[in-house]
Amino acid sequence: MRNNKLGCFTGAGIVAILITLFSLVGVAFASGSQMFSAGGLNAETGQVYGGVNSHAQITECAACHPAPWSTDSMADRCANCHTDIAAQMFDVAQLHGVIMNENGTLACRDCHPEHRGAMAPLTDLGGIVFPHDALGYSLKGHQLKAMNEPFACSDCHGDDVKTFASDSCQNCHSDMDIVFAQTHLLSYGTDCLACHDGVDRFGDDFTHSAFAFNLNGKHEEVACTKCHLDARTVLDLQSVPQGCLSCHAAEDEHGGRFGQDCSDCHTSEGWKPAKFDHDLADFKLVGEHKEVACEKCHTDGSYRGTPIDCNSCHSAEDEHDGKYGKSCEVCHTPTGWEDANLDHSLFAFKLEGSHTKVLCEACHQGGVFKGTPTDCYSCHKDDDAHNGNFGTDCIICHTTPTDWKDAKFNHGGFPLTNRHAGVACERCHAGGKYFGISSACVSCHSDPAYHAGMFGTDCAACHTTSNWSAKYSGPHPSIANEGGRGVNHGGASCRTCHTSTLHSATCGNCHDGNEGGDGGGGDDD
């Protein structure tokens, strides 16, 4: 008999071993790896899923562990029971939706391990970085504890990461600064998360300049609780009134007479010195008014309704005793009483030309300003070289821009043309008489002897103002028997035909009845 040194490792033995191993593996896979269980399931009870309220009540491994040839995964089996969690995964506003959005490769068992015993927690993040910022509380400001050790989830959540231990903040911050922690809790309450979000929004790096109400001057020294005492939420902090009197009503020495906006006069550097910007009021301070103490106008601490007319303050200083009225600003300016200059353009009688150089007293004699006459003759009667012959309305000939000699009369109804324009006024207005002068030519131009009065008094019928000696060039009446035709008299003078009067001329004066054959006039050629 042959001695077999390989023992059972014969060909038949090796085949038998392989058959046995394949059988065991097949049974293991077919039973959902039940024979390889790592330990007991968690026995924590909760909602009913798939007919059970804890993992420990699950008897079939295949309920969670699919066979190798199955198309399902363990995550699918979890979702089949935990349908509410499966719905969260598709909602980025929900916890599991945020987690899947941050890291879609995570499986359920990465955060929820099992088979660690009945009392082992079902949630264990292990080395997984949880997206804490996406849930409204950042861990950027909570990397290390007071002892310079890294934070663990249990430091804030205890044994259950689904809950937050409300005393976590108080315990940790008391270790850092117990006086501050206790004072802060008394001032703002114990609900730290109502104001803090983990990025130290209201911590050491907080600056009020990021908000509408900036802290400067004395305001920088004020404790937060002076304005934000007993604030419990961010909304409480942001809704604090910003008006001055909200904090300073008890310090208002003016009793509200100056309104509620203290910043009109005061600054945050302190109550004093105070300076009011009068440009914000109806009465602006210019000139010497800037140097006047407030009490001079605002007597008895009264600021509203203070009169703004000059006379209300300066009536005792009126050297004119009211003769010029109460509107001092007509002549004076805030630069000083002596620097007075009346703007006469504000009145009916405006000063122009030479009138601007006249002293006030020349017209306003005896200090009388109201009711002063505005007609020329009231002031210029003594200057009238015409002795009233031209009337009292000087502006007919004279104007104010120059002087008396630069006078020009508008001859109106009797225009002075050509040679009339050069005639001295006295030639027609003899004896200084200007009114009632006849405009007829013969008033100045008596009928020459050679006219003997036969042409009447209307010189203009023949003559013009440019030349007395010019021949008559006007239309000559036609002779009736000439049928409207003109008559050629060979340049005969007027006296040739008109021997006695303008209308005395007839053909028979020069031609007897036998001449002409056609009514006379033929021999004149």
179-192 residue pLDDT tens:
999 999 999 988 88
Q: Write the pLDDT tens digit of every residue in 20-67.
A: 776 666 665 555 445 556 788 999 898 888 889 999 999 888 888 888
SS (H, E, C) 393-456: CHHHCCCCCCCCCCCCCCCCCCCCCHHHHHCCHHHHCHHHCCCCCCCCHHHCCCCCCCCCCCCC
- Dump pLDDT digits (tens) for 226-278: 888 889 988 998 888 888 888 888 888 887 777 788 888 888 888 888 887 88
Q: Which has more pLDDT, 113 or 428?
A: 113
The pLDDT value given to residue 330: 79
Please give the average per-residue pLDDT across 210-215, as a whole number. Answer: 84
CA distance 15 to 19: 6
Q: How many Å apart are CA 405 and CA 417, to the nearest integer?
A: 22
Contacts 24+ apart (CB under 8 A), 86-89: none
Q: Which two tokens stand for residue 320?
A: 């004119």
Decide if pLDDT at 483 tops 50: no
Q: 81 CB contacts (<8 Å, ≥6 apart)?
A: 49, 50
Task: Locate the domains of the chain by residue range.
Answer: 14-131, 276-341, 352-439
pLDDT at residue 489 in the model: 64
pLDDT in tens, 443-481: 888 777 667 777 777 787 778 888 777 666 666 665 544
Conformational region of residue 493, where left means phi above 0, alpha means psi within -120 to 50, and beta covers everything else:
beta
* 3-state percent helix, strand, coil for the chain, nearest multiple of 5: 40, 0, 60
Question: What pLDDT is stored for residue 179 in this prediction?
Answer: 92
DSSP assignment, residue 379? H
138-142 long-range Cβ contacts below 8 angstroms, 24+ apart: 138/197, 138/198, 138/199, 139/198, 140/198, 140/199, 141/198, 141/199, 141/200, 141/203, 142/198
Question: What does the pLDDT average to over 388-401?
Answer: 77
CB atoms within 10 A of CB 485: 10
Task: Answer yes or no: is pLDDT of 388 > 60.
Answer: yes
